[in-house]
Amino acid sequence: MFQNATIENDKFLLKKKMTTTLVSRINLLDLPKDVRLLIYRFAGAVKQCAIDLNHRRSPYEAPDEGIMQFWGHDRPCVSHAGWSDTVHNLPLDQRPECDTKPLPYQLLYVCRVISAELSHMIYSKNSFVVTRSFPGGLLLLERLRPESIAALTDLAIRLNVCHRPQSTPRTPGLHFIELRPGREIAYCSSDSCERCPEDPYDKPLKMISREHKRAISQWKALAQYLGAHIEPHRLQLTFIADTNEYATAAEVLTSLQSISKLKSCALRLSDKREIRQLANSTAHEITGGREMILPAPGFTDLPHELQVQIWECTELVADHDLSWTPGTGFRCVKPNGYVNNCKLCTAVSRTGLGVITRPHCRPPAARAVINQCDCWSFPSGLFLVNKQLHKEARRIFYSKNHFVLRINQTFGDGAHWKRIEDSRQSSLALLSTMARGDVKFLRSIQFVFPDSAWALKLEECEELWEKGIEVLYQEARLSQVHVAVDFYLQDADQYDDMHSPESLRQSLQLQLDLAQKQVVTPMALLRGPLKIFEVFLALKLEYRARCKRMGLFEEELVRFDGGLPPYEKKSQMEMMSKTRLSGDGTDGNGSRTQRYTCGVYGPDYKPLELLS
């Protein structure tokens, strides 16, 4: 009997152990749906670049690793946000990498639930583009199932693209993977390679062309299919159909009207006035127009602090730094120096490159019509509501934004800056042209000397420079103002023949002396009462690396610091997190914080030397 009891006890313990083991093993479906979606995202279901439905990758090609394409300048960046702070802390789907790793299509074969969730995420969280001139044409979009069409949120259709850029890089390489038998999807690589498809170079659409008649007929069928299955106010559509004929444009836009209730759209057909007017009316019709948002009844009855917080969520506070020039006004500029444009404006840009629909900051073409655009623009309407809001808007706008003034540059054609020919076009004119009383609201301003010829340009703008400094001294609340000055030093290629440390040291010292004599010393009136005064020396990566190898920075920066007030020195990394400033200028204990920071940095945003 004792032996039987022992056997029964062993069976009970074994059964309990097996039950505990099974309970401890968690299945993917046992996790909450939100957790499963995060797993899909980290597995690579969401791509930063657009997914091209046309190109098919050879089975012998291996997918490339993700390549950073955020930096495209040949000059250092003057953003003080910090590379690690602005990039690596971003959400996964907002980072600037071009991830070319395969989509996690293996998960589609696990079970129906996971397949449905992953498929919906792929089509709803990614941008897609289809081009008629590429292999497969529009047929690849017609093959998508109705539930996939309903999940789409960002789609670019290039029915006809007849503009080839002359001085722009080739379209990034596109690779193919299989989601399921008979279903095709592609993703892009930022590496220019031989397998890249050429940009389409179509002739303008004409009704007399048999090929174009077939294309328009196919477009009609596709438009009806999309219109029958898209979700209302969900899809952001980019449509390019370059043509010079009004009748052809009308035929194409008539079919587009079947895709109604769009969230937003960008149309590019022609720069002719009558065609643009037709496209504009069509854009308003298929999006429902833009409704003006007015303050709700009783808004003025809210506490003043709550009203201010609400207005700060509007365009009065830009997402990035603001630059200003007399000819263009205020523009929102990203840390890489490009104007911050939305996807719609980018996709119909003059470059004609619609494959990569993530913003590369090119202005829309003259033949483009954009409705429900998300680009930042100066909120002039908020300044015209009433006197009370006008006063509050001025205070919020100038106190909550960081202003960047480039001494001898203005906005050029496209995303790039160009040198000014007339000193009156300098950004320095902002301080002397601001409305009386607005200067006192300034909290953060940055002066940029953007090339090695800044000294000559400063002589041309000397009157504006002195007047701007005088305006700051007389009208600004200096104890609350953060002023930064950025210099570009000479490029490395100008010193290829200088291999000795002494030659480089003399060249560097000459530039530092010039900067201190012409810029830093004249700002002596401001250095004392300012909350923060900072000077930065920006170098190209090659020159910076050469100087670092020769150990020039520590000695030369100490010399540069010699004639300045003995402010409290902070590390540049600590400074990077305090670019945008507001408040009363105290450190929290009521004591005033004044310091001078001198740093050297390159195009990777990382400080080379931290002076502490």
Is residue 213 in a domain?
yes
Asked if 335 and 202 sit in the same domain, the reply is no
Please tell me which of 92-96, 326-330, 422-426 the model is most confident about, judged by mean pLDDT: 326-330
pLDDT value of position 409: 59
Backbone angles phi, psi at 43, to 5 degrees: -80, -10
The whole-number pLDDT of residue 289 equals 54
CB-based contact 267:186 (threshold 8 Å): no
Is 482 a member of any domain?
Answer: yes
Residue 262 lies in a domain: yes
Choice between 115 and 79, residue whose per-residue pLDDT is larger: 115
572 Cβ partners below 8 Å, 6+ apart? 597, 599, 601, 607, 609, 610, 611
Span 192-201, average pLDDT: 40
229-233, 236-240, 469-473: range with lowest mean pLDDT: 469-473
Assess if residue 368 is contained within a domain: no
Do 331 and 231 share a structural domain? Answer: no
The CA distance from 119 to 30, in Å, is: 19
Task: Give the residue from 486, 320, 516 showing the smallest Cα distance to 407.
Answer: 486
Q: What is the mean pLDDT of the chain?
A: 65
Least confident of 46-60, 65-79, 261-275, 569-583: 569-583
Does residue 55 fall inside a structural domain?
Answer: yes
Residues 257 and 326 in one domain: no
* C-beta of residue 543 within 8 angstroms of C-beta of residue 608: no
Q: Within a domain: residue 494?
A: yes
Q: Compute the distance between CA of residue 118 and CA of residue 121 in angstroms, rounded to an integer.
A: 5
Above 70 in pLDDT, residue 448? yes
Closest CA to 579 of 73, 72, 86, 71: 86
Q: Are residue 494 and residue 538 in the same domain, yes or no?
A: yes
Same domain as 214, residue 324: no
Whether residue 328 sits in one domain with residue 249:
no
Total tally of structural domains belonging to the chain: 2
Q: Which amino acid makes up residue 316?
A: L
The count of residues in the chain is: 612
Most confident of 78-92, 129-143, 458-472: 129-143
With CA atoms as reference, report the closest residue to 326 among 432, 459, 252.
Answer: 432
Considering the domain architecture, whether residues 38 and 156 belong to the same structural domain is answered as yes
Buried (b) or exposed (e) across 362-389, using 16+ Cβ within 10 A?
bbbbebbbbbbbebbebbeebbeeeeeb
| pLDDT over threshold 50, residue 300 | yes
65 within 8 A of 561, measured Cβ to Cβ: no
Identify the bridge partners of residue 448 per DSSP, sorted by sequence position: 406, 486
Same domain, 460 and 502: yes
- Domain span at residue 178 reads 29-70+92-287
What tokens does 336 get? 């890489």
For residues 322 and 247, membership in a common domain is answered with: no
CA distances 303 to 208, 306, 391, 395, 457, Å, are: 65, 5, 17, 17, 49
User: Which residues, 6+ apart, have CB-to-CB distance to 57 below 8 Å?
Assistant: 174, 175, 176, 177, 186, 195
Phi first, then psi: what are they for 210, rounded to 5°?
-65, -40
Amino acid at 259: I
pLDDT at 384 > cutoff 60: yes
Cα-Cα-Cα-Cα dihedral sign, residues 520, 524, 526, 530: positive
Closest CA to 350 of 274, 265, 249, 240: 240
Residue 336 and residue 227 share a domain: no
Residues 252 and 324 in one domain: no
The answer on pLDDT for 178 being more than 70 is no
Does 322 share its domain with 277? no
Radius of gyration of the chain (CA): 29
CB contact at 8 A, 52 and 137:
no
Residue 313 within any structural domain of the chain: no
pLDDT digits (tens, 9 = 90+) for 486-501: 776 654 444 444 456 6
* 497, part of any domain: yes
